[in-house]
Chain A
Amino acid sequence: MSQWWQRRSLRARLAAWYAVAGTAICAAGFTAALLEGVWRPGDRSHLWLALAVGGAAALLLFGLAGYFIAGHALAPVKEMVERTRRLSARSLNERLPVVNPHDELGELATVFNQTLQQLENSFAELKRFTADVSHELRTPLTAIRAVGEVACRERNPAILYDALGSILEEVRRMNQLIDRLLLLARADDDNVPVRLEAWLVRSALLEVSDALALVAQDKQQRLELDCPDHLLAVFDPGLLRLALLNLIQNAIRYSPPAKPITLRAFRREDAVVIEVADQGPGIAPEHRQKIFERFYRVDKARSRAEGGAGLGLAIVKWSVERMGGTVELKSEVGCGSAFRLRLRPVSP
């Protein structure tokens, strides 16, 4: 019984209390009036007295019930106010106490705590992101500074020229990093215009594979294209090219020489699927979830040496989602990885 009582909302409890008290007083008054009537028929003055006493008692009872129930139910508010006051960006791990999860205040506290949790997560994300960005920017800056300072003491023009070249290379790297970050930052508010229309998938794939054929060939790799001639899908050619160039260059980079890379497209009932598959080392399960996150790298030392900042797949994911599609990874360690883009089909 007490448990049932606890699970009601504040409103229901007050209403229940009032109903019980009201019924009791009515019954008492009615009984009194009835008894009076039997006792002294004709004399109504006692009836009025009974009503007056009953009314006063009712008011008193209602007031007391309201006072205690509301007081009990609202007791956590003080604590909530206190804790909310202490909240700041620095102490987002604070949570409000949930005294009774079933009443209004409990619900409020629960929702507030969920919001706090989300805020805490985004703050943590932002913090991590800022740390990653600073690190990525500091790496080329360190190189620029070191090369520049050493070059200052140099008198040999050939070495000076070389130092300048090396500084400019790092500047280019920073430039590209900032361009990518800007794209992703803008992506967050979805302001980048897209041109979603029906296009031939094959010509988009051919364009990308033509551009990369020579790069693959230099690694004795082959790009195999398998796509029906008249397959249509809804996409933005620039965004799809961006996604595919990133994916195929990754495949070329991370799979060993002489292993083919397949570029396949086919129609499924609800989507057009484009698959980029390699026979590289594959991606271990613990990385698969995180691989689309910004700055996430499976092999930190290696990909940085090759100039990557860990933004390629984040850009792939963003560009595919911007076209209303999805991207997923299927991978088996030792056998290879396959990235599958699902795009909106053109209804026949």
Chain B
Amino acid sequence: MRVLIIEDDEKTARAIASGLEAGGFSAAVAHTGEEGFFLLNAEPFDLVVLDWMLPGRDGIEILRTLRARGSRTPVLLLTARDAVEDRVLGLESGADDYLVKPFAFAELLARIRSLLRRASPAEALKKTVADLMVDLEARRVSRAGRPIDLTPREFDLLAYLLRQPGQVVTREMLAREVWGEANRITPLDNVIDVHIAHLRRKVDEGQAAKLIHTVRGVGFVLREEACG
């Protein structure tokens, strides 16, 4: 999968590019609108990560031209502007998703994957990680054959972690996707931490292999091997 990053801040662009490469993508970087537009015309990309504020032609302009020419390449718009009107303008101009700076890289990766996945077939209704089995339809969970009793919220939390296997999930993502909180400043960190602690107790306590891990400063991840 080839991703084009159009972002004028070199540090940010380089960090995104190397993060994406580590995640199995191939990435190209453009630092100005013109350069990005030139690259888009020259080679095919599966997805574009586009900064709104660019020197020269700004992101929205590029996006509009791209869409006017009939291109359907998914575009993820990055911006420091988070007012609702900006969001609407961004999406109306043809962006497929919108991420407010500063963002967690884990979130960018999750959004890119989900944009690329959109066309793919429906997900399986039963998922397993190691000896943990989750039936998303019947909302049942068991570990090593032994059923685990979860509250609805704990189940949603586990299901969300499970949909991003091996990927770090931030508190912002959980607040938005599991608690349905659109506003970034609503204080839910505490709530999330407590729920994770309870979920962990039910899923991991007394087990040799821990599945729910905290990635300090970033968030949580569900995976088999032990990790700091």
Q: Chain A interface (Cβ within 8 Å of chain B)? A: 158, 161-162, 164-169, 171-172, 175-176, 179-180, 182-183, 186, 191, 193, 210-212, 214-215, 218, 238, 241-242, 245-246, 249, 312, 315
> Residue A166 contacts which of B82, B215, B216 (CB distance < 8 angstroms)?
B216
Beta-carbon nearest neighbor of B193 in chain A: A215
Q: Which of B83, B179, B181, B216 has the most CB of A within 10 A?
A: B216
Residues of chain B contacted by A241 (CB below 8 angstroms): 181, 186
Residues of chain B contacted by A182 (CB below 8 angstroms): 82
Q: Are A214 and B186 in contact (CB under 8 A)?
A: no
CA distance A211 to B179 in the complex (A): 8
Q: Chain B interface (Cβ within 8 Å of chain A)? A: 82-84, 102, 153, 179, 181-188, 190-191, 194-195, 197-198, 215-218, 228
Q: Are A242 and B183 in contact (CB under 8 A)?
A: yes
Q: Are B187 and A162 in contact (CB under 8 A)?
A: no
Q: Are B228 and A214 in contact (CB under 8 A)?
A: no
Q: Are B215 and A165 in contact (CB under 8 A)?
A: yes
Main secondary structure of the interface of B (DSSP, over half): loop
What is the distance, in angstroms, from B98's C-beta to the closest C-beta of chain A? 16
Residues of chain A contacted by B102 (CB below 8 angstroms): 171, 175
Q: Are A165 and B186 in contact (CB under 8 A)?
A: no
Main secondary structure of the interface of A (DSSP, over half): helix
Residues of chain A contacted by B194 (CB below 8 angstroms): 214-215, 218
What is the distance, in angstroms, from B195's C-beta to the closest C-beta of chain A? 6
> Residue A215 contacts which of B83, B191, B215 (CB distance < 8 angstroms)?
B191
Residues of chain B contacted by A162 (CB below 8 angstroms): 216, 228
Q: Are A169 and B183 in contact (CB under 8 A)?
A: no
Q: Are A161 and B190 in contact (CB under 8 A)?
A: no
Q: Which of B102, B197, B198, B215 has the most CB of A within 10 A?
A: B102
What is the distance, in angstroms, from A265's C-beta to the closest C-beta of chain B? 20
Q: Are A180 and B185 in contact (CB under 8 A)?
A: yes
What is the distance, in angstroms, from A235's C-beta to the closest C-beta of chain B? 15
CA distance A210 to B217 in the complex (A): 26
15 residue pairs of the A-B complex, CB under 8 angstroms, read: A162-B216, A167-B217, A168-B217, A169-B217, A172-B217, A175-B102, A210-B153, A211-B179, A211-B188, A211-B191, A218-B194, A238-B183, A242-B185, A245-B188, A315-B185
What is the distance, in angstroms, from A232's C-beta to the closest C-beta of chain B? 22
> Residue B186 contacts which of A168, A169, A242 (CB distance < 8 angstroms)?
A242
Residues of chain A contacted by B179 (CB below 8 angstroms): 211
CA distance A161 to B218 in the complex (A): 12
Q: Are B182 and A238 in contact (CB under 8 A)?
A: yes
Residues of chain B contacted by A186 (CB below 8 angstroms): 83
Beta-carbon nearest neighbor of B102 in chain A: A175
Residues of chain B contacted by A211 (CB below 8 angstroms): 179, 188, 191
Residues of chain A contacted by B198 (CB below 8 angstroms): 214
Q: Are B184 and A168 in contact (CB under 8 A)?
A: no
What is the distance, in angstroms, from A153's C-beta to the closest C-beta of chain B? 20
CA distance A165 to B219 in the complex (A): 10
What is the distance, in angstroms, from B164's C-beta to the closest C-beta of chain A? 18
CA distance A89 to B195 in the complex (A): 51
CA distance A164 to B188 in the complex (A): 23
What is the distance, in angstroms, from A254's C-beta to the closest C-beta of chain B? 13
Known: A158-B228, A175-B102, A238-B182. A312 touches B187 (CB 8 A): yes
Residues of chain A contacted by B186 (CB below 8 angstroms): 238, 241-242, 245
- Rank and list the top 5 A-B pairs by shortest CB-CB distance, nearest first: A168-B217, A165-B216, A165-B217, A169-B217, A215-B194
Residues of chain A contacted by B216 (CB below 8 angstroms): 162, 164-166, 168-169
Q: Are A245 and B187 in contact (CB under 8 A)?
A: yes
CA distance A238 to B187 in the complex (A): 12
Residues of chain A contacted by B188 (CB below 8 angstroms): 211, 245
Q: Which of B188, B195, B198 has the most CB of A within 10 A?
A: B188
Known: A164-B217, A168-B216, A168-B218. A179 touches B182 (CB 8 A): no
Residues of chain B contacted by A214 (CB below 8 angstroms): 191, 194-195, 198
Residues of chain A contacted by B184 (CB below 8 angstroms): 179
What is the distance, in angstroms, from B136's C-beta to the closest C-beta of chain A? 22
Beta-carbon nearest neighbor of B84 in chain A: A193
Known: A167-B217, A175-B102, A245-B186. A161 touches B191 (CB 8 A): no
What is the distance, in angstroms, from A205's C-beta to the closest C-beta of chain B? 16
CA distance A315 to B195 in the complex (A): 25
Q: Are B185 and A179 in contact (CB under 8 A)?
A: yes
Residues of chain A contacted by B191 (CB below 8 angstroms): 211-212, 214-215
CA distance A242 to B138 in the complex (A): 33
What is the distance, in angstroms, from A141's C-beta to the closest C-beta of chain B? 14
Beta-carbon nearest neighbor of A169 in chain B: B217
Residues of chain B contacted by A183 (CB below 8 angstroms): 185
Q: Are B228 and A249 in contact (CB under 8 A)?
A: no
Residues of chain A contacted by B84 (CB below 8 angstroms): 193
